[in-house]
């Protein structure tokens, strides 16, 4: 389902507001800001979570489970695209004739009067949004922001600042990104996804063009290393008001050159106009240099100097679930990553391979890279099963879980075994299928040896596996957590 933009009123005029599924990664950050603004805010979710508990600490009245009476005196009810029409709270809101907003409308209402920086793209949105927000905050610009995942340093994904900039992660999956009052549009890449909503790759690409040419957009920051976004940049000539190209390509306005590993991170020379110098990141991978280039460009357009932008980006420590170290126990490192599209998984496994090799050089061991992947959504598994299988060949051992269906109903015959079969077809060295996610920690423990690096991959509940595995690893002889 694709959304159409609607007119919104300022957030402080919506009256008491209730969020359905408030603990979701997208919803919780917005709900937190309404409470921070002083609006009476409540929210419910099907199950308890750290996000829901965090909202309670932030002043949101929270409920576990859904019930009509939990709407209280709400005048506005906020939903996401995952909420089904028969949800009892949504049914009650319609019965009462309350204002019902999609999450994107609720966020757009918060952005009114601010300089909106909306970060879109098939991959890299969360990290680029987080880098931009942290850069501005570290440079003293006091931005407002809503990120799709919590910052590793603060554990929160949103903040209501006093400065002029409002940085948001702009989701393209349901056309939410067309809702925001965007001044600076950032496009990290364009590669077909969410075709259950968009229908065709061309329609998906056309959505990004519509995003870049919204009436409020004054600047488009776009990645010219990615074929899809490069084509869009060429198509936008004469349409968008001002285009800033970034990447390693020779025609990039913000250009990255001389890339080098730097401890656990990466460094490069970044150049823009007459300004040039080294940028050193604490997070690894060329993809993060690309993300930092986009954030840098946004910072410069918002008035930061070259030195201030580079220095502030060097303090970025990452977001949760983006190559996040869960444990280093018994000589086995366990990371967790949100990657769920073949291109994202390729970037994560490439970074993990470098980390594995660096670990082997440091310890003298012959550690292996073990990828534990949970496919997300039945429709995406159908669309990309072959690509998932091919990218699993980057690991020494691939452990595949069953599909996390999330908001979708099962499709007959679509299971994680489609990925297993594809991986074997593409010549994966070793592939293991573990259907039940709660069996994954024990299975990984049986496979793992000292020196190995394990990375769990997926945007579903595979995130539980790392901490559970960490507890098991602590029971190994001579285990020492770091």
Query: Which H or E run includes 17?
Result: strand 17-20
Tokens at 310, concatenated? 């580079």
CA gap 137, 139 in Å, rounded: 5
- 123 belongs to an annotated ligand binding site: yes
Phi, psi of 455 (to 5 degrees): -130, 125
Catalytic residues: 125-126, 169
Residue 126 annotated as lining a ligand binding site:
yes
Residues 273 and 253: their CA atoms lie apart, in Å, by: 7
Helix then strand then coil, in percent of the chain rounded to 5, is 40, 25, 40
Give 182's Cβ-side CA count (13 Å radius): 32
Cα–Cα distance for residue pair 291/247, rounded to 1 Å: 9
Give the 3-state secondary structure of residue 244.
Answer: strand
By C-alpha distance, which of 369, 469, 386, 340 is closest to 429? 369
**In the numeric block, which tokens belong to residue 281?**
């990141």
Residue 124 CB neighbour total at 10 angstroms: 25
Cβ partners under 8 Å of residue 13, min gap 6 = none
**124 in a known ligand binding site:** yes
Distance of alpha carbon 362 from alpha carbon 59, whole angstroms: 47
Annotated binding site for ATP: 121-127
Where is the binding site, in residues? Answer: 121-127
């Amino acid at each position: 389902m694709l959304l159409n933009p609607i007119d919104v009123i300022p957030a402080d005029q919506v009256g008491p507001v209730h969020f359905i599924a408030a603990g979701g990664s997208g919803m919780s950050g917005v709900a937190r800001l309404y409470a921070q603004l002083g609006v009476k805010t409540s929210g419910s979710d099907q199950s308890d979570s750290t996000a829901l508990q965090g909202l309670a600490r932030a002043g949101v009245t929270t409920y576990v489970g859904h019930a009509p009476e939990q709407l209280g005196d709400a005048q506005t009810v906020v939903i996401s695209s995952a909420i089904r029409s028969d949800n009892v709270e949504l049914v009650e809101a319609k019965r009462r004739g309350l204002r019902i907003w999609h999450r994107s409308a609720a966020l757009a209402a918060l952005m009114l009067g601010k300089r909106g920086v909306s970060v879109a793209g098939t991959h890299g949105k969360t990290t680029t949004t987080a880098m931009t927000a942290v850069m501005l905050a570290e440079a003293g610009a006091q931005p407002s922001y809503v990120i799709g995942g919590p910052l590793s340093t603060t554990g929160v994904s949103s903040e209501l600042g006093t400065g002029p900039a409002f940085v948001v992660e702009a989701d393209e999956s349901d056309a939410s990104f067309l809702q925001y009052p965007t001044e600076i549009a950032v496009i990290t890449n364009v590669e077909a996804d969410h075709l259950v909503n968009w229908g065709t790759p061309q329609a998906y690409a056309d959505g990004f063009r519509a995003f870049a040419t919204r009436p409020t957009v004054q600047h488009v920051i776009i990645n010219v290393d990615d074929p899809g976004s490069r084509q869009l940049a060429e198509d936008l000539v004469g349409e968008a008001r001002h285009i800033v190209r970034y990447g390693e390509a020779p025609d990039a306005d913000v250009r990255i050159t001389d890339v080098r590993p730097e401890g656990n991170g990466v460094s490069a020379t970044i150049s823009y106009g007459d300004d040039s110098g080294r940028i050193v990141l604490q997070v690894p991978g060329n993809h993060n240099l690309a993300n930092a280039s986009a954030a840098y460009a946004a910072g410069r357009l918002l008035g930061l100097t070259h030195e201030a932008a580079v220095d502030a980006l060097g303090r970025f420590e990452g977001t949760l679930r983006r190559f996040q170290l869960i444990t280093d126990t018994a000589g086995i490192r366990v990371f967790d990553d949100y990657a769920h599209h073949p291109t994202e998984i390729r970037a994560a496994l490439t970074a993990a391979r470098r980390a594995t090799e660096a670990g082997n050089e440091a310890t003298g061991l012959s550690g292996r890279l073990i990828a534990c992947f949970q496919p997300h959504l039945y429709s995406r598994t159908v669309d990309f099963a072959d690509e998932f299988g091919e990218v699993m060949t980057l690991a020494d051992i691939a452990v595949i879980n069953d599909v996390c269906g999330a908001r979708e109903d099962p499709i007959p015959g679509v299971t994680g075994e489609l990925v297993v079969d594809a991986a074997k077809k593409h010549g994966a060295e070793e592939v293991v299928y573990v259907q039940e996610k709660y069996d994954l920690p024990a299975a990984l423990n049986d496979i793992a040896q000292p020196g190995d690096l394990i990375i769990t991959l997926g945007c579903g509940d595979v995130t539980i596996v790392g901490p559970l595995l960490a507890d098991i690893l602590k029971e190994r002889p001579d285990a020492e957590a770091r």
